[in-house]
Chain A
Amino acid sequence: MKRVMQGSLLLLLSFALILSACGGSNNKDNNGAASGNSENSAESGKPSAAEDDGPVEELIVAFPIVSPDLTGLQLVEQEMNKITESKIKVRVKFMPINAGEWLQRTNLIFSSNEKLDLTYVHGTMYSNMVAKGMLSPLDDLIGEYGSGITASLEQKYLNATKIGGKIYSVPSVRDLAGSYGYTIRKDLVEKHNIDMSAIKTLDDVANVLQLLKEKEPDRVPISTGGTQSFRDVYKFYDELGDNMGVLPHYDNGLKVVNLFETQEYADFVKRIREWYKAGYILSDAATNKLSLVELMSSGKVASYIGMQKPGFDVQETKNNGVEVVSAELNPPYSTTSNITLAMWGIPVHSKLPEKAMKFLNLMYEDENIVNLFSWGIEGTHYVKVQDKIIKYPEGKDANSVGFNSLQWMFGNQFKAYVLESNDPEIWSKMKEFNESATPSKALGFIFDGSNVKTEYAAVSNVINEYKLSLETGSVDPDKILPQFIDKLQAAGIDKIVAEKQKQLDEWAAANGVK
């Protein structure tokens, strides 16, 4: 293993070197002259319909998946290519990456210059990726090829992605705000007569957990997904991108504070610790690698907390394969992180940025593309009930149908079909939800951490060390929290908070926020 690791790291470095050398020279050759494409057109075999000149080119698109079954995705890829080859001369090739490995795999792809033309961009990585020059600025491309994007995404949302005045990624059209809520198996609610409307705070949740603990001894009352802590799924502040320096209550007079030193945080971890001691939480929560979907579908876990939106129960029921219901704990707020949560960007090393933008535009404009990504193939993975209402084929459900994607990340969700069991007005309700959400005072602000890189790395290491054990209640906060805070101080978190405050003040002055 050691050998393999060293070997692969070395190989990686050498490849990075070789490729960067090749990449440099290729760029010059490839411009204009469509060299190196002969292979593609020969492979595709079909004589191309000649309205758009030039051969069909292969576009590699990366996104995370949760379902290990890829056969459905391959069918969708073939089906989608029928559309894209004629419309924009592009043959799409999916690069599905297991959601749990997303961060690691994309880091490797970028470090090794692996071919990639369009990628899902996760909000927490965004400013870092831009600071390192991983993403191309998109303003000009959107202006030229992105009419479908600007038509479906309001300018204020696009503006929230701007770093240094430029757009580097386009958010998907979905819930652009978030409320937090408690979700539980429906059969248990009915069995134990739990009044969902009475659940409004974490105290109420604790009562339900106690009941579950007593009456359902074979199930774990509550859990998070693997490598997630309870704070990841229940936010009570604007995280300002990375949780290092946050805005409590989404306002705080624009004064940035160190989250881990706040009383709210101390209370929160203390509460989670009580839950853990009472046996409400998975006892190996700190090392658990199973996803929430796996825990729920196996029946091991009864409930969880998470960020919610209209239609959440239907989505979760579909993902988990067991029926669930939810109660809202915190009202919806809209922060930069909500908007940048799921976006699409074009890697700086892509050779086909125009084609990538054309395809991205289709994801916002073309109903067929959106639904291929969201639901799969009509007749195979779903059947139509009415015009835009669908259901699963006879005798199938979300688990057995063979296609299951994270729909909210693919372009314009408002063009997606609605499942029969869902509210047919879901998209107009979603729009309302987005508009009704209270905006955080720092909505639109993105922090650039490149001035405090050293501290950033050191603080990240400290957070990685303590976060999971502390925020799953696995260790005693009275003993560990002061240690954690000391180490954060030593790693220089105050410098990050100060830098963030400075940038936030500048941002506020420039945008007239008071």
Chain B
Amino acid sequence: MNTEVKRKRINLRRYIPLYIMTIPGLAYLLINNYLPMFGLSIAFKDINYAKGIWGSDWVGFKNFSYLFATSDAYIITRNTILYNAVFIVLGLGFAILIAILLNEIRSRFSQRFYQSVMILPHMISIILVSYLVYALLGPATGFVNKTILPMLGVEPISWYLESKYWPYILTIVHIWKGAGYSCIVFLAAIIGIDREYYEAAGLDGASKWQQIRKITLPMISPIITMLTLLAIGRIFYSDFGLFYQIPMNSGAIYDTTNVIDTYVFRGLMQLGDIGMSAAAGFYQSIVGFVLVLVSNYIVRKIDRDNALF
């Protein structure tokens, strides 16, 4: 008993520097993630600027009712989850593919060159990307409508007014922009694999494809699982720039471009009602939280070591 207390005290003293080192991180977490949680109360209030946030009247779930008054809640929830699911699967696939291909390039210069070119889109501001896309798809001057479609003998398409094309456009833009960057982690993991495995496989006559399937992929699978889990945890948060800027905020295609983040943003900016947009944000947090719990539960059932908690 006595010795245990003593050991604890020694441990405490030994770890004091570590505890001190956590203070900035904790303070950041507290200020940035916990303090604003008081703001959640706004979702249940009828905000009156004369009375202030605390003084405003409680209205229960009234702020939430507009979300569910139309099919909006269904559409933005569906869009957010489906887009992110596609992004997780395809994004991961392309990132791994690029990492493997880059790894196979023998010339050191070309490898660096291709890697830089791949990462470049990640560095471009989303606003610029939106105009790049517009240069391609613009109705009057766009490259696709002006050059490509006439060559194929197809009538010009009003891209910004037809919602059916946007799931593909947004996915392509997302992959183009993000894959080069997210492949870095996989590339690092692949480079870390012991070359002796490949030499041994080569001696046994394994083809390149077999080597990738039997050595590379199994060796980097822990990283794949981890990144996927992290991505699922954020499945209810969408890339605001992608969904707001790329479609040029065109109303006619809201059906396939409106996600929770853009919905909340438009709600706050156009209606100027912080109660209602706080309600939408609250809804996002709750569903996101549930999704994280569920996905973690599933992972734990399959592979206990890979679960987050």
- Considering the complex, give the chain A residue whose CB is closest to the CB of B263: A461
Q: CB-CB < 8 A to A128: which residues of B?
A: 272
State whether A458 touches B35 (Cβ < 8 A): no
> What's the minimum C-beta distance from B58 to chain A, rounded to whole angstroms?
15
Question: Which residues of B from 235 to 259 have beta carbons under 8 Å from A?
Answer: 237-242, 245, 248-252, 254
Give A286 to B39 CA distance when docked, in angstroms: 36
Q: CB-CB < 8 A to A108: which residues of B?
A: 269
State whether A13 touches B49 (Cβ < 8 A): no
> What's the minimum C-beta distance from B67 to chain A, rounded to whole angstroms?
9
State whether A283 touches B139 (Cβ < 8 A): yes
Q: CB-CB < 8 A to A462: which residues of B?
A: 70
Instruction: Please indicate which of the listed interface residues A7, A132, A349 has the most CB atoms of chain B within 10 Å of its own CB.
Output: A132
Interface assignment of A134: CB less than 8 Å from any CB of chain B: yes
Question: Which residues of B from 255 to 278 have beta carbons under 8 Å from A?
Answer: 261, 264-274, 276, 278
State whether A1 touches B53 (Cβ < 8 A): no
Give A363 to B32 CA distance when docked, in angstroms: 43
Question: Which residues of A from 472 to 514 have beta carbons under 8 Å from B?
Answer: 474-475, 487, 490-492
Interface assignment of A44: CB less than 8 Å from any CB of chain B: no
Residue in B49, B138, B250, B261 whose CB lies within 8 Å of A5: B261
Interface assignment of A104: CB less than 8 Å from any CB of chain B: yes
Also in contact, A465 and B239, with CB within 8 A (given A5-B265, A110-B49, A349-B49): no
Q: CB-CB < 8 A to B134: which residues of A?
A: 287
State whether B238 touches A2 (Cβ < 8 A): yes
Give A5 to B268 CA distance when docked, in angstroms: 12
> What's the minimum C-beta distance from B219 to chain A, rounded to whole angstroms?
31
Give A5 to B241 CA distance when docked, in angstroms: 9
Interface assignment of A189: CB less than 8 Å from any CB of chain B: no
Question: Interface on chain B toward A: helix, strand, loop, or mixed SS?
Answer: helix
Q: Mark A247-287, 1 if CB is under 8 A from B, else 0.
A: 00000000000000000000000000000000000111011
Q: CB-CB < 8 A to A347: which residues of B?
A: 49
Residue in B53, B238, B270 whose CB lies within 8 Å of A460: B270
Interface assignment of A60: CB less than 8 Å from any CB of chain B: no
State whether B252 touches A458 (Cβ < 8 A): no
> What's the minimum C-beta distance from A466 to chain B, rounded to whole angstroms?
6
**Selected interface stretch from A14-22, A158-166, A314-322, A389-397:** A14-22
- Considering the complex, give the chain B residue whose CB is closest to the CB of A113: B49
> What's the minimum C-beta distance from A104 to chain B, rounded to whole angstroms?
4
State whether A107 touches B272 (Cβ < 8 A): yes
State whether A474 touches B274 (Cβ < 8 A): no
Interface residues on B, range: 35 or more
Interface assignment of A211: CB less than 8 Å from any CB of chain B: no
Q: CB-CB < 8 A to B265: which residues of A?
A: 5
Interface assignment of A200: CB less than 8 Å from any CB of chain B: no
Also in contact, A133 and B270, with CB within 8 A (given A13-B42, A474-B158): no
Q: CB-CB < 8 A to A349: which residues of B?
A: 49
Question: Interface on chain A toward B: helix, strand, loop, or mixed SS?
Answer: helix
Q: Mark A114-157, 1 if CB is under 8 A from B, else 0.
A: 00000000000100110011100000000000000000000000
Residue in B69, B237, B245, B276 whose CB lies within 8 Å of A492: B69
State whether B47 touches A132 (Cβ < 8 A): yes
Residue in B53, B65, B250, B273 whose CB lies within 8 Å of A17: B53
Interface assignment of B62: CB less than 8 Å from any CB of chain A: yes
Q: Mark A448-479, 1 if CB is under 8 A from B, else 0.
A: 00000111011011101111110000110000
State whether B269 touches A103 (Cβ < 8 A): yes
Residue in B53, B249, B252, B254 whose CB lies within 8 Å of A475: B252
State whether A133 touches B48 (Cβ < 8 A): yes
State whether A467 touches B251 (Cβ < 8 A): yes
Interface assignment of B100: CB less than 8 Å from any CB of chain A: no
Question: Which residues of B from 19 to 67 have beta carbons under 8 Å from A?
Answer: 31-33, 35-36, 38-39, 42, 47-54, 62, 65-66
Give A142 to B238 CA distance when docked, in angstroms: 49
Also in contact, A457 and B240, with CB within 8 A (given A107-B272, A287-B160): no
Interface assignment of A24: CB less than 8 Å from any CB of chain B: yes
Give A1 to B112 CA distance when docked, in angstroms: 27
Give A287 to B281 CA distance when docked, in angstroms: 27
Residue in A2, A16, A103, A467 whose CB lies within 8 Å of B241: A2
- Considering the complex, give the chain B residue whose CB is closest to the CB of A289: B248
Interface assignment of A97: CB less than 8 Å from any CB of chain B: no
Interface assignment of A10: CB less than 8 Å from any CB of chain B: yes
> What's the minimum C-beta distance from B272 to chain A, rounded to whole angstroms?
4
> What's the minimum C-beta distance from B30 to chain A, rounded to whole angstroms?
11
Residue in B33, B52, B271 whose CB lies within 8 Å of A457: B271
State whether B140 touches A461 (Cβ < 8 A): no
Can you list 8 A-B pairs, Cβ within 8 angstroms, ordered by A? Answer: A1-B126, A13-B278, A16-B39, A283-B140, A287-B134, A348-B49, A457-B271, A465-B252
Interface of A with B (CB < 8 Å)? Answer: 1-2, 5-7, 9-11, 13-14, 16-17, 20, 23-24, 103-104, 106-108, 110-111, 125, 128-129, 132-134, 282-284, 286-287, 289, 347-349, 453-455, 457-458, 460-462, 464-469, 474-475, 487, 490-492
Q: Which 9 pairs between the two chains have the least Cβ-Cβ distance? A: A1-B241, A133-B50, A13-B39, A469-B252, A133-B48, A107-B272, A287-B248, A283-B140, A104-B269
